[in-house]
């Protein structure tokens, strides 16, 4: 290519260079990789964050999420002064993702909206807010999603292979187990777990299975499985705590709670029951900044 350009007249070469430069600008976007609900790298839940000038086609967004291969990639576009936010797993778009929302806010606070104390995002779950708190915590405001008592679905019992105390239907299924040790030692059969969609009559694949129990050094522990979303186990899940917080707040008789997610990467969260809303607090660690060329 260089040899071919060198043979061209100067004016033609400059025209081609300008064209290549403009093409590069149109196809380049800022990308950030952030670990969420952790104070250390390689902990918590990794999220991709893409800052866009305009929306790309959905199949391109899905392709980027698949290429990134983290549980969720967040895409942001600022229109008329308002941030619009969407989330994609490697397989589909989802209607709520807490950790990628917090990742998005942390990127904007550090690189774009450096003087802001609070950010609002327009999403499929309405307006979500993330605010700076004390001691480096970010506080995310989510809709509360309490569950209703549900039956012991046979596929659920078989897939988990442990004694289940209670099951609740919410946008995600909530499964209450006896102890932290039981939650930690679970090895679900994901093939069977996928069958819960039909048994529980979930309308689509946009749901997960939350397992929880009282914690030894916190108020409660949990894990989150979402094989129908293309995510076997999610390391640290903000949206799950919009279901967990109302349950544990009622059970323990307190509105401020501490929580751990017992995945291999681990997650530390702070939760507040605010009635129809849930406040979820956490820390983030920036791992990577760069450009994507699409």
97 close to 236: Cβ distance less than 8 angstroms: no
Q: How far apart are CA 74 and CA 284, in angstroms?
A: 15
Q: How far apart are CA 264 and CA 287, in angstroms?
A: 18
116: number of Cβ within 10 Å: 14
Q: How far is CA 93 from CA 61, 65, 72, 73, in A?
A: 9, 10, 9, 10
234 close to 210: Cβ distance less than 8 angstroms: no
43 close to 265: Cβ distance less than 8 angstroms: yes
Q: Return the SS3 of 242.
A: helix
238 close to 253: Cβ distance less than 8 angstroms: no
Q: How far apart are CA 105 and CA 103, in angstroms?
A: 5
Residue 115 annotated in active site: no
Secondary structure (DSSP) of 109-173: IIII-TT-SEEEEEETTEEEEEEE-GGG-EEEEEE----EE----HHHHHHH-S---EEEESSSE
Which residue is catalytic, options 67, 72, 115, 181?
A: 72
Positions marked active-site: 72
């Amino acid at each position: 290519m260089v040899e071919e350009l060198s043979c061209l007249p100067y004016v033609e070469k400059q025209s081609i260079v300008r064209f290549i430069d403009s093409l590069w600008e149109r196809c380049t976007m800022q990308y950030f990789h952030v670990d969420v609900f952790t104070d250390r790298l390689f902990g918590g839940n990794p999220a991709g964050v893409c800052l866009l000038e305009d929306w790309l086609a959905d199949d391109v967004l899905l392709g980027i999420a698949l290429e990134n291969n983290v549980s969720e990639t967040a895409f942001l576009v600022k229109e008329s002064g308002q941030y619009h936010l969407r989330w994609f797993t490697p397989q589909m778009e989802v209607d709520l993702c807490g950790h990628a929302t917090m990742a998005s806010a942390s990127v904007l606070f550090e690189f774009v909206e450096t003087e802001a104390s609070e950010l609002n995002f327009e999403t499929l779950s309405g307006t979500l807010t993330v605010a700076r708190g004390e001691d480096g915590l970010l506080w995310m405001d989510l809709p509360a999603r309490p569950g209703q008592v549900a039956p012991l679905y046979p596929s659920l019992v078989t897939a988990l292979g442990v004694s289940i105390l209670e099951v609740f239907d919410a946008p995600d299924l909530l499964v209450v187990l006896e102890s932290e040790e039981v939650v930690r030692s679970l090895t679900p059969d994901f093939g069977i777990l996928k069958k819960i969609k039909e048994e529980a009559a979930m309308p689509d694949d946009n749901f997960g299975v939350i397992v929880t129990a009282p914690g030894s050094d916190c108020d409660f522990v949990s894990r989150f499985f979402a094989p129908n979303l293309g995510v076997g186990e999610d390391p640290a899940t903000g949206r799950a705590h919009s279901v967990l917080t109302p349950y544990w707040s009622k059970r323990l008789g307190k509105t401020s709670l501490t929580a751990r997610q017992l995945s291999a990467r681990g997650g530390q969260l702070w939760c507040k029951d605010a009635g129809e809303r849930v406040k979820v607090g956490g820390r983030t660690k920036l791992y990577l900044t760069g450009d994507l060329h699409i």
